[in-house]
Amino acid sequence: MPRPLEFVRRAVRQRINEIFNDYEAGERPALRRADALFPTSSVAWRVNGDIVTMMIGGVSGLLLQMLHPKVLAGVWDHSDFRADMHGRLRRTAKFIAITTYDHAEAGRTAIDKVKRIHAKLGGSLPDGTPYRVSDPDLLAWVHVTETISFLNAWVRYQQPDMTMADQDAYFDEMARIGEALGADPLPRTRAEAESLIRSFRPQLKADARTNDVAALVMRQKVGGMAEDAAAGIIMQTGADLLPDWAREMHGLPKAPAAVTRSARTMARSLDWVYTGSPNRQVWPAEVREWPTGGPK
């Protein structure tokens, strides 16, 4: 019979699984498999599996991406973010989980689905400048801001002593996903990622629409006092993770020290919650669906 603390672990895991997966639509967490697009020994497996740092990085990456007028226009024109920002963040998390951990076929299917959607979308900026969501340059901006934000969150809140060799390896590994999506150019090292971001800076701006998106991100609610308190920590530390120049463009404050300490505590707590769970088990090739029985 499970001990009381094990009941707590299971209850928290179940709630988190429900937040990140639409159970009514049949979604379940992605299975970790040895036949994934990335090997189990990859840096991507280490970085992309931490819930707290991936959410902090996801918020930071989204705020950084929205400073590009064409990326902002694509979200503004073709996304339901104003009604469902949580859904957008959840879909991004799901895509990363599937392409990192699920079997390679599922990863390629997820990539192809995104590419088909991107190919259909385009429009014009308020000044009439045309854009296409599938533009390799725009995809490169989305890719580099996302990957550097995920990595920065991991380094700050989980592995401050991460070697530069491992950080470079992360960019090199994640370039596989960016390349499959059509992004170009793609950074293969941290130095290349930072250089690419600097090259985009003259194109970036913050206006009323940028402010609207940032406000929606920062006031996200998940439901329930505990979940909303955790979301508040994620949002504040996500903004805090931004480069100073980007945070100033958004007009967002740095997070208080108490909030960053809370983020570290939350990351350590969820490490404990997920110890020994099916979410972190590497499943054999014949298992294709989330287990309905056994340990939760």
Q: What angle do the packed helices 104-120 and 164-181 form, to 10 degrees?
A: 60
Q: How many CB atoms lie within 10 A of CB 39?
A: 11
> CA-CA-CA-CA torsion for 3, 8, 10, 13, nearest 10 degrees?
-160
Strand partners, 103: 36
- Which residues are CB-contacts of 198 (< 8 A; sequence separation ≥ 6)? none
Which pLDDT band, with edges at 50, 70 and 90, does 36 fall under? very high
Residue 62: closest CA among 85, 37, 94, 28: 85
3-state DSSP of 153-178: HHHHHCCCCCCHHHHHHHHHHHHHHH
CA 127 to chain centroid: 31
Per residue in 82-129, pLDDT (tens digit) is 666 667 777 888 999 999 999 999 999 999 999 999 999 999 999 999
* Structure confidence by residue, pLDDT tens digits, 185-235: 999 999 999 999 999 999 999 999 999 888 888 887 777 788 889 999 999
Summarised one tens digit per residue, pLDDT across range 154-194 is: 999 999 999 999 999 999 999 999 999 999 999 999 999 99
Q: How far apart are the C-alpha atoms of 294 and 296, rounded to whole Å? A: 7
Strand 122-124 and strand 130-132: pairing?
Answer: antiparallel
For residue range 243-278, what is the model confidence (pLDDT) as tens digits? 999 999 999 999 999 999 999 999 999 999 988 888
